[in-house]
Amino acid sequence: MKKVLVTAVALTMLVGGYLSFTTVDKEAAQAVAGKQNYKANVYVAGMGGHFAVADVTIDPNNREAPITVNNLGMLNIGGKSHPSHDGRIDANDRNIMFWSTYRPDDNGNLHVGKSDLKTGRVLLDVALPPDERATWSGANYCGSGQSENYFMPVYMGNEGYIDVFAKEDLAHKQRVFFDDLGYKSGEYTFAHGTNTPDMKHFLLSLNLTPDGHTKFTGNTQLILLDMKALEQGKVKKVAEATITGKPRDASGGTITFRQYFTEDGKYLFQSGADRGYIIDAKTLEVKQVASPLPGEAHDMMPTPDGKYAIFTLRQKTFSAADEGDVTDGTLALYDVQARQMVGDSASVCLACHKNFGKAGSAVLCGMDANFM
């Protein structure tokens, strides 16, 4: 399959200030927000073995449609054999993105790779099987973090682990299982993780399922790990806390997925299916909950100034081609200071699929973005 990447227009952004939970004059805050506009290339992982490349403009003053998709392209990482939930842009070179796959290929192997965002070319693609200790492989790599020299995807099957790959050649260096942290197989489901902006720590999230694998309680364990120790295949806890949510039932519930820290490292933006959390990065205390949401949240990324959060959502929508409801992949905006969603979400999956004559649901998960 031909690899295609749309080159977006030059990116500009006018931002100022940092995330604040202090008391402020609302009118003054809105006036400042009114001066802001953001542009970015957003890379959204899809189960078709590619990333949607969305050139977007974010205008919080547009209360009906704050996210405009100016152009949609595709970054192909391998097609049907490479369904992905995970992309992580290299902190050392914003033209390089690391990725991992969510399902094994026909040979039973997972893939970890890196791509050139300018050309769309896959630079490296390494195949490896799930660990023999993995008794359930219904879900594989999803969240990931990085340090200066290592890419660290998180295996979300049972039992889970963090892998450590050298960025240069994607040589597999370490594998850290969660029983080293005191969590036994089956007592958690769907692990995710990311790094702090200074790369000194790795944040691991575990959905707590003490009554058995996939029996979601709505509670999540957050564990902050020392990065240097993790690079050596060791675990050293720095902080730990439990956040609470709604137990999963027929109507839905809270399941935590991917997350991001604000650029200043003060807050963690954590997606949680039926909600999003804004969490103090030092104490791991929940400061704000974004809910309800118009779809199921799988990632939550702050704008560079931390004033807004971008969600990736799996959102039900009507499709005339399918004569019924299907799932679309969308981007939605949350105003941190106003504590509310802003306007409608923007399609980044079905909007592109229709151009290729494809019907049916489109499943997204994680994202990363280049702002300027």
Q: How many CB atoms lie within 10 A of CB 25?
A: 8
User: Could you tell me the two tokens for 341?
Assistant: 């969603």
State pTM to two decimals.
0.89
Cβ 115 vs Cβ 74: under 8 Å = no
Determine the pLDDT at residue 322.
Answer: 63
Alpha carbon distance 153, 132 (integer Å)? 17
- H and E: helices and strands count for the chain: 3, 24
Determine the pLDDT at residue 321.
Answer: 66
Determine the pLDDT at residue 361.
Answer: 82
Domains and their CATH numbers in the chain:
26-371 (2.130.10.10)
Alpha carbon distance 314, 326 (integer Å)? 10
Alpha carbon distance 21, 150 (integer Å)? 34
Alpha carbon distance 159, 170 (integer Å)? 23
Cβ 300 vs Cβ 311: under 8 Å = yes
Determine the pLDDT at residue 360.
Answer: 77
- Please choose, from the candidates 272, 299, 313, 285, the residue with its C-alpha nearest in 3D space to the C-alpha of residue 368: 299
Cβ 67 vs Cβ 332: under 8 Å = yes
Low-confidence ranges of the chain (pLDDT < 50): 1-33
Alpha carbon distance 185, 304 (integer Å)? 37
Cβ 279 vs Cβ 285: under 8 Å = yes
Determine the pLDDT at residue 10.
Answer: 34
Determine the pLDDT at residue 207.
Answer: 98
Determine the pLDDT at residue 173.
Answer: 98
β-pair partners for 346: 331
Alpha carbon distance 52, 257 (integer Å)? 19
Determine the pLDDT at residue 356.
Answer: 66
| CA-based R_g, the chain, Å | 19
DSSP state of 8: P
